[in-house]
Amino acid sequence: MTDRMVIVGASLAGLRAAQAARKAGHEGSMTLVGGEVHLPYDRPPLSKAYLDASVDGPESPTFRSEAELRDELELDLRLNTWATGLDAGRKMLSLEGAGCGELEYGSLVIATGAKARTLPGTEELAGVHTLRTLDDAVAIRAAFDTGARVVVVGAGFIGSEVAAGARKRGLPVTVLEALPVPLVRSVGEQMGRACAELHLANGTDLRCGVKVTGLCGADGRVTGVSLDDGSTIPADLVVVGTGVAPNTDWLAGSGVTLHERDGGIVCDETLATGLAGVYAAGDVAHFPHPLFDGLVMRLEHWTNAAEQGMLAARNAINPAEAKPAAGVPYFWSDWYDSRIQFVGIPQADEIRVVSEELGEDRFLALYRRGDRLTGCISIDRPTQIMKYRRLIAQSKSWADSLEFAGVG
């Protein structure tokens, strides 16, 4: 039986898993399998600095050099290689691509993240993109360079950052959102409306409650986006930001339980999948959060992927002392010159603005569930919000939190 740790998915959660495994004393062999040709790289800059015209030839967002990965972490690094099957009985993976063949594991961390959803039937049309990978960002940056008229489908975080990047270059941008208010599932209705104000203040044509019925094209290139009211919005570049789907097709029939809603991997609070030695981490993993009464969630946030990658590896090495994934969720998003930050969870009985600076686009609001503080959102209050992350970790009461905010 091998003591090899195999990590599938060579991005943030996968890399952090490898680093944590070595730090925790794993001396056995370790293989990192990644489908992309690139070394593990950071995704947040792809929708920010990478699209900025003032950043001349943006730096590669690679985390570590190949030498660092192979030598320092003693990694058997298999890029351009896809895991296509898992035989849990034999503890064996099937691989296709550059590092193809079968690979036996002692422990396995699945960190295959998620892929962007596309608009069905538009795959062959030039000028239509999603933004998940470095290659996507290169293509969108090139389209920005040509002065494209931009239409973004979906006013979520990625779509909104693309819109902000285009406006910074002075490009005309329309954002189409099916919901009456953007970001309701991420930050709630009231705060979704406040975020939407940033678009309007920066000249982005945000249209909510509209339905895209299709794309128009000529000579294989996109020329516009059709709406259900019969109108067409001209476009040279369409960026589809309608969410992601976990990369788990390859696990069909493996015995790993997949979530009925989105196919993500169902884990327990230690990120164990239920199959011996198999853990999951990052954007792919559903888990019950111990701080929020076991509420099951799948987070698509950088900090969560980093923290869970480390935890999954440590728990895989030492399952007898496995710890729960208990970090308070946190994400940020940069729109125009503002930074939106969120800690905790958005499901709330009440949202209370605790700063009076709404009119100046700088504010902080708290989320209550029952009698506890469970969330906090801020725009341009970076030091403040981290204090509330600590309060949420301590399960502080609503009354104490309001007092802390000076409004109790």
Q: Is the dihedral of CA 338, 42, 262, 119 positive or negative?
A: positive
Shortest approach of ligand FAD to residue 407 CB, angstroms?
Answer: 28
Shortest approach of ligand FAD to residue 79 CB, angstroms?
Answer: 9
Q: Which long-range contacts does 23-30 make (Cβ < 8 Å, 24+ apart)?
A: 24/313, 24/314, 24/317, 24/318, 25/317, 26/313, 26/317, 28/2, 28/3, 28/4, 28/106, 29/2, 29/3, 29/4, 29/5, 29/74, 29/76, 30/4, 30/5, 30/6, 30/73, 30/74, 30/75, 30/76
Shortest approach of ligand FAD to residue 12 CB, angstroms?
Answer: 4
Nearer to ligand FAD (CB atom), residue 97 or residue 288? 97
Nearer to ligand FAD (CB atom), residue 100 or residue 227? 100
DSSP conformational letter for 59? P
Shortest approach of ligand FAD to residue 207 CB, angstroms?
Answer: 22
Instruction: Decide: helix, strand or coil at residue 150.
Output: strand
Task: Give the residues lining the site for ligand FAD (CB under 6 A).
Answer: 8-14, 33-36, 43-44, 46-47, 82-83, 111-114, 131-132, 158, 247, 250, 282-283, 300-303, 305, 331-333
In angstroms, the CA 333 to CA 187 distance is: 12
**Which residues, listed in sequence order, are joined to residue 81 by a DSSP beta bridge?**
97
Please identify which residue in the block is written with the tokens 């994400």: 331
Shortest approach of ligand FAD to residue 63 CB, angstroms?
Answer: 11
Shortest approach of ligand FAD to residue 245 CB, angstroms?
Answer: 11
Between the CA of residue 320 and those of 30, 48, 182, 272, 361, what are the distances in Å?
21, 42, 44, 12, 49
Shortest approach of ligand FAD to residue 403 CB, angstroms?
Answer: 29
Burial level of 22, CB count in 10 A (0-12/13-18/19+)?
middle
Between the CA of residue 62 and those of 141, 188, 192, 208, what are the distances in Å?
18, 34, 32, 36
Nearer to ligand FAD (CB atom), residue 114 or residue 148? 114
Between the CA of residue 233 and those of 92, 157, 174, what are the distances in Å?
50, 22, 8
Shortest approach of ligand FAD to residue 57 CB, angstroms?
Answer: 19
Shortest approach of ligand FAD to residue 223 CB, angstroms?
Answer: 26
Please identify which residue in the block is written with the tokens 């947040």: 44
Nearer to ligand FAD (CB atom), residue 83 or residue 348? 83
Nearer to ligand FAD (CB atom), residue 74 or residue 96? 96
Nearer to ligand FAD (CB atom), residue 337 or residue 403? 337
Q: Which of 246, 268, 261, 241 is nearest to 9 (CA)?
A: 246
**Which residues, listed in sequence order, are joined to residue 176 by a DSSP beta bridge?**
153, 207
